[in-house]
Structure 1
């Protein structure tokens, strides 16, 4: 029994025109019109990966996680119910709207809606990106990753780690708590930022070609205030990426070259360096907070820390990895 991939995300927003341009042009997703009050977007052979509903709130509506078998839904439902979490069986109408065969629905302790789904449907038509790209890294690695603001990390750790079975990749405690979890070979599909707030921090999509990230970065720079983090490279998952301000206020990370791990042998550990080797200047922060993050990067660089050479990164070009 296991949750094995991030399947899809749902967003509430009354800015459908803005999301149509942002997800379709900047993120290069394929727009699928689901009617007058919703937009859906594809990234691969799945019928939908992102759903934006015309509702007030501008926030995360739900996170869909895929399970390996239908029986897993019953097992998780029983485990959650025993732990005191209300679980509902998804209706046939809801399953049809999510394009899955079956699902259960519940909330995490912070009130974020979680949907566990089985057997997502595949589209009959080939994926057509919103701008020319080589494609996204999805398949067995799922849609990408999702990151939540949390008030108290310790309150949510038992829920995701013990009840849902997410596996800790690594964590850092300064300048604020950060916990990263994997459910497949992607270094992390889920993370929590102990910011003292609640809500959506960001989601990430990974492109198969670094040039597709760079060309999106060029487009984002044409829009005033669109860039939230400049181009940079993370220290734990080695992702080269930038972050954009979405139409709903949270961030979206566009990345390339993320680290693929072996879940069977991976050992969780605490990290003692900042989140980035270089770049990722947080343009949205006040100068004093930006300076603190900048000093961490400069210290990391001065200590000689680097990502492994490409020859030691088999996940980038290994023909055995199916992307």
Structure 2
């Protein structure tokens, strides 16, 4: 049994008009009006990837993870039940709302709702982006990635790693605990930030064309306070990206060129050089609140000549670099 991809995300917000402009106009998703107090957005041939609903509760409503086979739902349900996790079977009405054949749902140790689903519905009409883009990198890699704030990584780590089979890609312990997990060839589909907080940190969408990221960055800079992290490049997954403030307060990473790993040869390892080669200035932080510390880590990495490979996709090379601890 296996979880194969991040399939969809659900967000609670009473700012549906703002989300329509943000997800459609800035990110380039296709808006689908589901009627009532909900908006859905497409990124590809799937019926929906993001659902925003006007209802009470925490900002992150649910994470939907796709499983490879129908029997995997029962297998994971049995494993979770044995570990003392209450598992709920998704009703037909819920499955219809998610446009999937079947699902189960439960909560992680911090109360985040997790849904495992099988066989998402394919749309009959082609994807039409909300602004001119070449599309998103999805397919076998799923929607992108999701990142949570966590109070206690030691509690959350075994839940996702041991019960749900998320595989650790790499991790960093400075300036705070960061764990990255893969469920397919995408460097990470899930991550935890050991910030001591709770809630949604960000989700990432990856564009097919670097220019689509750059043009979105221009659009974001037209709105005062929209950009949260400036354009930069991450050290671990090699993603070139910027982060935008979403209408709900958490971030959305807009990226291109993320690493595709060879799952068969990849070895988990600790990273030591900080989050980014360059850029990603945290505009939302104060100097004393971490902005200077993260900047100094980038400048130190630059002074030591830390560089990433200029290769769009090379799983073999990435695997070799991981063995060397680079």
Instruction: Give the TM-score band, short-chain normalised.
Output: over 0.9
Which position in structure 2 is the counterpart of 1:261? 261
Report runs of 4+ in structure 1 exceeding 2 Å deviation. Answer: 312-315
CA distance in 1, matches of 2:166, 2:57: 28
Deviation, 1:56, is 3.4
Which position in structure 2 is the counterpart of 1:296? 297
Which position in structure 2 is the counterpart of 1:321? none
* Aligned partners of 1:282 and 1:290 also within 8 Å: yes
1:12 aligns with 2:12: yes
CA distance in 2, matches of 1:56, 1:159: 27
Which position in structure 1 is the counterpart of 2:321? none
Helix, strand or coil at the partner of 1:184? coil
* Aligned partners of 1:58 and 1:249 also within 8 Å: no
What per-residue deviation string (whole Å, max 9, x for no partner) do you get for residues 25-50 of structure 1? 00000000000200000000000000
Deviation, 1:314, is 3.4
Which position in structure 1 is the counterpart of 2:249? 249
Helix, strand or coil at the partner of 1:56? coil
Helix, strand or coil at the partner of 1:196? coil
* Aligned partners of 1:14 and 1:58 also within 8 Å: no
* Aligned partners of 1:63 and 1:113 also within 8 Å: yes
CA distance in 2, matches of 1:314, 1:224: 38
Helix, strand or coil at the partner of 1:162? helix
Which position in structure 1 is the counterpart of 2:128? 128
CA distance in 2, matches of 1:221, 1:119: 39
Deviation, 1:282, is 0.2
CA distance in 1, matches of 2:82, 2:56: 34
CA distance in 2, matches of 1:109, 1:193: 15
Deviation, 1:58, is 6.0
Which position in structure 2 is the counterpart of 1:318? none
Task: Trace 1:1-323 onto structure 2 (pairs within 5 A).
Answer: 1-57=1-57, 59-288=59-288, 289-310=290-311, 313-314=313-314
Helix, strand or coil at the partner of 2:94? helix
What per-residue deviation string (whole Å, max 9, x for no partner) do you get for residues 109-160 of structure 1? 0000000000000000000000000010000000000000000101101100
Deviation, 1:287, is 1.3
**Which ranges in structure 2 are unaligned for 5 or more consecutive residues?**
316-326
Helix, strand or coil at the partner of 2:170? strand
Which position in structure 2 is the counterpart of 1:319? none
CA distance in 2, matches of 1:60, 1:308: 35
* Aligned partners of 1:68 and 1:118 also within 8 Å: yes
Helix, strand or coil at the partner of 2:102? strand
Deviation, 1:251, is 0.2
CA distance in 2, matches of 1:240, 1:305: 16
Helix, strand or coil at the partner of 1:154? helix
Deviation, 1:191, is 0.1
Helix, strand or coil at the partner of 1:31? strand
What TM-score, normalized by structure 1, do the two folds share? 0.96
Please report the RMSD computed on the Cα atoms of aligned residues, expressed in angstroms: 0.9
CA distance in 2, matches of 1:282, 1:212: 22
Deviation, 1:307, is 1.1
Deviation, 1:11, is 0.1
CA distance in 2, matches of 1:303, 1:127: 45
Helix, strand or coil at the partner of 1:219? helix
What per-residue deviation string (whole Å, max 9, x for no partner) do you get for residues 176-213 of structure 1? 00000000000000000000001100000000000000
Deviation, 1:313, is 4.0
What TM-score, normalized by structure 2, do the two folds share? 0.95
Helix, strand or coil at the partner of 2:80? helix
CA distance in 1, matches of 2:56, 2:227: 24
**Which ranges in structure 1 are unaligned for 5 or more consecutive residues?**
316-323
